[in-house]
Amino acid sequence: MCRFLVYKGTNPILLSDLILNPTHSILTQSYDCRLRLDSLPHNGDGFGVGYYTTPTLSAEPCIFTSTTPAWNCVNLSRLAKKTASSLVFAHVRATTSGALSESNCHPFSYGSLMFMHNGHIANFKKIKRAIVSAIRDEYFLMVEGSTDSEWAFAVFLDTLHSLGHSPKSPPEAQNERVGGGGGGGGGFGHGVLRQALLGTIRRLNEFLDEAGTGEPSLLNFAATDGYSVVCTRYVCSRTDEAASLYFSSGTRFHEYKEGGFYRMERHDRGQDLVMVASEPLTFERGDWVTVPTNSILTINKQTVLIHPIIDKYYQQNPAYSRSAAFAESKGMVAEPIVPSKSVKNGAKKLGVRSGKDAHPPTIPDRLPSGSDEGE
């Protein structure tokens, strides 16, 4: 499975402080993935970085992809040390479908939108024809690669269109992005993006049901229009855990000790930056909060909102312990959600808002720190 990282902040951050320097940066995760349990914990089938500049240059993101493993790409290092943005997507790939090619590397883009996926659509070949028949021509023609992830993006674009919004022409920005992304009130709006991503999952479930696919799909998605960000942690099952997903928020993410030792500082109840990651970038226990399984996380002006995804796979009992066996069979670690008073207090301190009936997030006890075989 892949790994992705999202950064959204009031101020720009140097890309090297996100993807190169931290002790467990996404570059490190490309060759030393601690939350994969298979025998080869590598994500070396290419990578991609997408970020926004000032609207005077373009509303579209700048995207750099390569089939070279992230740990072996000197150009990535050169660019990251000289590039800053306040809204960044990064992805390292371990292929489950699609050939090794730049057209299959995330993030994908269309107009001002970016999209990433960690997981897989089960028996994708059985539903691909149905997807092709269901979406509009412009989104069928948009697909350049052969991954299930890019076809999921096509469904997302078609769903956004069906909501009455042209993916190619977002509403004009009410305020300019601050430092190349993240600020202002432009774009489609976080509510619209959330509904489009929820609609995408609903439609994929319908395709899977019609095809009689019994195996669960892992649908950890991330989408942005350059202003708001929406992410899902989702599995098509009532009893299984989804692939891992965490977030961290605060006022400053910095290196407090030489050698790549970073941490999140929180000076008050407000927050100036939010990160979402398949694996934490640091080993600081208090920095990272687990996103509950089958929920959607929204970042709007550095405010984190978490809502449960209420469908046939929703578990009303927040104390229900989902099985991690399926995620582990795919090489993933999936930690159970265990509500606790201390976690609720921690979430309040971080300024997290949960939707109605949302499961309270948990802080992981630790990251696995063992050998190449994961835990």
pLDDT, one tens digit for every residue, the chain (375 residues): 578 999 999 999 999 898 888 876 666 665 554 444 444 444 446 788 999 998 788 889 999 887 666 556 778 888 888 999 999 999 886 555 545 566 788 799 999 999 999 988 999 999 999 999 999 999 999 999 888 999 999 999 999 999 999 999 876 643 444 444 545 568 999 999 999 999 999 999 999 999 998 899 999 999 999 999 999 999 999 999 999 899 999 998 887 788 777 888 888 777 899 999 988 888 777 889 999 999 999 999 889 999 999 999 999 887 889 988 887 776 665 553 333 333 333 333 334 444 444 443 333 333 333 333 332
Question: Which tokens is 84 given?
Answer: 């800053």
Judge if the upstream peptide bond of residue 107 is cis by omega within 30 degrees of 0: yes
For residues 39-65, one letter each, b for 16 or more C-beta atoms within 10 angstroms of the residue's C-beta and e for the rest, the string is eebbbbbbbbbbbbbebeeebbbbbbb
> Which amino acid appears at position 199 of this protein?
G
pLDDT at res. 265: 87
pLDDT at res. 348: 33
- Quick check: 209 and 311 in contact, CB under 8 A? no
| Tokens 């500049």 sit on residue | 53
Distance CA 300, CA 261 (A): 28
pLDDT at res. 47: 82
Which domains does the chain show, CATH number per domain?
A: 3-330 (3.60.20.10)
pLDDT at res. 297: 98
Q: CB neighbours (10 Å) of residue 216? A: 23
H/E segment holding residue 203: helix 190-211
- Quick check: 114 and 228 in contact, CB under 8 A? no
Distance CA 255, CA 17 (A): 8
Active-site amino acid positions: 2
pLDDT at res. 305: 96
Helices (H) and strands (E) in the chain, counts: 9, 16
Question: Which tokens is 153 given?
Answer: 């993006």
pLDDT at res. 184: 52
Distance CA 120, CA 215 (A): 11
pLDDT at res. 44: 45
